[in-house]
Structure 1
Amino acid sequence: MSRLPIGASAIPFELPGVDGRHYRLETFADHQVLGLIFSCNHCPYVQAWEERMIELQHEYAEHGVALVLLNANDPQKYPVDSFEAMQQRAQMFKYPFPYLHDQPQTTARAYGAERTPEVFLFNQARELVYHGAIDDNREPEHVQQHYLRNAIEAVLKHQPPPISETPAVGCTIKWSV
């Protein structure tokens, strides 16, 4: 499976959200920045970064930034990642962003996503400008490099991110086959 390269266009999708709506790439057309983050419920790495993702969305929403979480894990193998469990988690943590169910894993495969959490950040033209980790440490107090925050800041200033790619760190996506 090949990963979407830096500079590539966002790949269209249509997925159900835990809020009962269906989302498409076009749903976010008026946002300056779109961050697609492959995520899930059970991964300890996602859980370690969850509050930071929520904080980033709250901080940048008024600047035209949309973060979107997509869960592609096989709910048969991991019932904690089922659509119902996703709804419960989004409600429990008051997610300020859409949480989408990527079944049958077509969007994750199209993007070449492999881990949770794994970020694909797009500019207004929906060109991939950053791919990788949220920051450099799962422990918030030890973070030295704020990759996603710095990329968002750069894109809002119509500049390239200082770092455009980092290794995604986290659990592997749990594929159906």
Structure 2
Amino acid sequence: MKKSNVFFTTILLLSSLLVTVNINAQERKGPPQNGERKGPPPGGHSPVQSKTLEEIGGYKIGEAATDFQLKNVDGNTFSLSDIKDAKGYIVVFTCNECPFAKMYEDRLIALHNTYAPRGYPVIAINPNVSETNERESFKAMQKRAEEKQFPFVYLADMGQKISPQYGAVRTPHVFLLDKEKKVQYIGTIDDNARSAQDVKVKYVENAIKALENGEQANPNFTKAIGCPVKNL
């Protein structure tokens, strides 16, 4: 008799457990219907910036950037004013080792080759340069520039004197300036860091086209996707 009671009690407990599991399974939300997907596509990223420029710090849209003097990988000192008849400047904070920076190297080369002849050169600046880090040392920058045959200047922001002025917090982080060095666009290069072939929106190129047409870039502020600038 006792064995029978134990048996029936066990059956009741198991039944109750199965019912609870079934109810929870029915209430649990499944995948989006009709192939809908929230968020960016695989490999892509959202350009929506969650922080304001005030929170990030640095230059605001429309503010004039101060010129600088930084050492280029060729050993010479470079300033924006060295480029005569510039219509604008594609200032990009990048580095040697960040995976995202590496993903965008070929695209930066293409940007420069396309737009420098039209007056919009790429100005690459390394905010992570450090002689205590072999992979981000000035010699490593020289080696990287030679390996990739950078057609643009690659400048060392020793002591991070320039990157905080701009508000550069990621590598890469783009600041498009007009010929008066006023900031016209801040943010990401395009909407897909991992795959140039799958890019849907080219934010920097669109901003340049708007600038050439005397219009304001839309959007003029997006979220830079990359590695955080190192605190040196």
TM range (shorter): over 0.9
Distance of 2:137 and 2:81 partners within structure 1: 25
Mind listing any 5+ residue stretches in structure 1 that lack a counterpart? none
By how many angstroms is 1:77 displaced? 5.5
Secondary structure at the aligned position of 2:185 is classed as strand
Relative distance call for 1:19 and 1:74 in structure 2 (3 A) is closer
The count of aligned residue pairs is 176
Instruction: Write the letter of the residue equivalent to 1:156.
Output: E
- Asked whether 1:146 is paired with 2:202, we answer yes
- Asked whether 1:52 is paired with 2:107, we answer yes
Between 1:148-157 and 1:114-123, the stretch displaced more is: 148-157
Residue equivalent to 2:220: 164
Residue equivalent to 1:23: 78
Spell out the pairing of 1:126-141 with structure 2 (5 A cutoff).
Answer: 126-138=181-193, 139-141=195-197
Correspondence for 1:12 among 47, 62, 67:
67
Residue equivalent to 1:43: 98
- Asked whether 1:95 is paired with 2:95, we answer no
Larger radius of gyration: 2
CA RMSD of aligned residues (A): 1.3
Correspondence for 1:32 among 67, 70, 87:
87
Secondary structure at the aligned position of 1:169 is classed as coil
Question: Going by fraction, where is helix more abundant, 1 or 2?
Answer: 2
Between 1:60-69 and 1:154-163, the stretch displaced more is: 154-163
TM value normalised by structure 2: 0.73
Mind listing any 5+ residue stretches in structure 2 that lack a counterpart? 1-55
Secondary structure at the aligned position of 2:121 is classed as strand
By how many angstroms is 1:78 displaced? 3.4
Moved runs in structure 1, 4+ residues, more than 6 A?
none
* More contact order relative to length (CA 8 Å, sep ≥ 6): 1
TM value normalised by structure 1: 0.94
Question: Going by fraction, where is strand more abundant, 1 or 2?
Answer: 1
Identity among equivalent pairs (%): 36
- Asked whether 1:107 is paired with 2:162, we answer yes
Distance of 1:73 and 1:102 partners within structure 2: 7
Distance of 1:120 and 1:136 partners within structure 2: 16
By how many angstroms is 1:76 displaced? 4.7
Residue equivalent to 1:65: 120
